[in-house]
Amino acid sequence: MDDQFWDTPIAAAARRAAQVKTPNSLTLPRPETPRKITVANQKGGVGKTTSSVNLAAGLSLHGLKVLVIDLDPQGNASTALGAEHHSGVLSSYEVIIGACTPAEALQKSPFNDNLYCIPATIDLAGAEIEMVSMVRREYRLADAISADFIAEHGFDYVIVDCPPSLGLLTINAMTAVTEVMIPIQAEYYALEGVGQLLNNITMIRQHLNPALHISAILLTMYDARTKLAEQVASEVREHFGEVVLTNMIPRSVKVSEAPGYGQTVLEYDPGSRGAMAYLDAAKELANRGDYPAHSDSPIGQAPTANPAGEEA
C-alpha cells in the first residue's frame, strides 16, 4: 500500500478508531488526588451533557477511573452512558435524600470497565422542594460522595452533570467539587449568561465552598468554515485567557446522533472528528492539571513560570 495513504485524514481517523477499540492502548498519568469537576452553564443547548459524558469516556479510555453523577432530571447523561434510569432504579435522587448510599446507586457503563455512573431518574425533578427543609441542604451530595467513598472505589475523576439553572441541585453539585468546567458554544450570544454564572460561582465561593473555581472552559459546536466561530473563539480566549482549552469541539452530526443510541460518540463513531476532538480535549484536561484560582477570582490561572523559564 502507498505510504502516502498513512498521512491522509482518513488514515489518521482509522488509527484513532483502532486505538479507541483497543483496551489499554492509551494511557495518561493519574492525578495526585482525585479531581472533582462540575460541568455547568446556565444557558441550555451548549453541549454541557455531551461534554460531560464524552470527556468522561475519553479519560476512561486512557486508563483513568471515572464516575459521572447525573444531577439533571432529564437523565440525558445516564442515557448516553448506557445506564438504567427508569423509575424505581436507585439514582442520584435517593443518594441526595439519604435513601441509599452512592455505592448502591453505582452502575458500570457498558462502554468500558473504567467508566461508572450514578444515574438520574424523573424522581429528581421534585428533589429541590424536598431538600428545602433538610439539614445541610446545600451539602447533601458533598456529604454523600465523601473522600472515603472516592478512595474506596479508586476514582481518579468525578464529573457532575447538573441542570441548566441555579437551584439546589446545581448548588449541591458545586459544593461537592472543587472545579467547574464551562462549555461555551462558538455561536451568537456565546457569552450570554456566563456573567451571571461567574457571579453565582463567586457567591458560592464566598459562602459555601471556598475551594470552588473555574479550571477549564471548552469551546463547543465550532464550525471552522465560518468567520463567526473564529471571532467568538477569539473573544472567549481574550476574555478568559489560558484557562480556555486549546482543543475545540467541532459541530458534528455524529456527536448529536450518539445519545440516541445510548452511547457516547467515542463508542458510536470513534473515528469521527467529534470523537477525536473529545479524546484530545480529555487528554489536554488531564495533562495540564487543575488551574487553581488566584486571590478572589473564581477563574483559574495558568501556572506561573519560574526564573528558569519552566512551569512552576
* pLDDT single digits (tens) 16-75: 655 655 555 568 989 999 999 999 987 777 888 999 999 999 999 999 999 999 999 999
- For 265-308, write each residue's pLDDT tens digit: 999 999 999 999 999 999 999 999 998 876 667 887 665 433 33
List the chain domain ranges. Answer: 34-288
- Per-residue confidence at 191, pLDDT binned at 50, 70, 90? confident
- For 81-110, write each residue's pLDDT tens digit: 999 999 889 999 999 999 999 999 999 999
- The third-level CATH classification (topology) of the domain covering 34-288 is Rossmann fold (3.40.50)
Instruction: Report residue 183: phi and psi, to 5°.
Output: -80, 135
What is the model's pLDDT at position 164?
84
Q: What predicted TM-score, i.e. pTM, was given to this entire model?
A: 0.88
% of the chain at pLDDT higher than 90: 61
Summarize the confidence of residues 141-162 as an average pLDDT: 96
Summarize the confidence of residues 209-237 as an average pLDDT: 90
- Per-residue confidence at 119, pLDDT binned at 50, 70, 90? very high
Summarize the confidence of residues 215-227 as an average pLDDT: 89
What is the model's pLDDT at position 196?
84
What is the model's pLDDT at position 10?
58
Q: What is the mean pLDDT of the chain?
A: 87
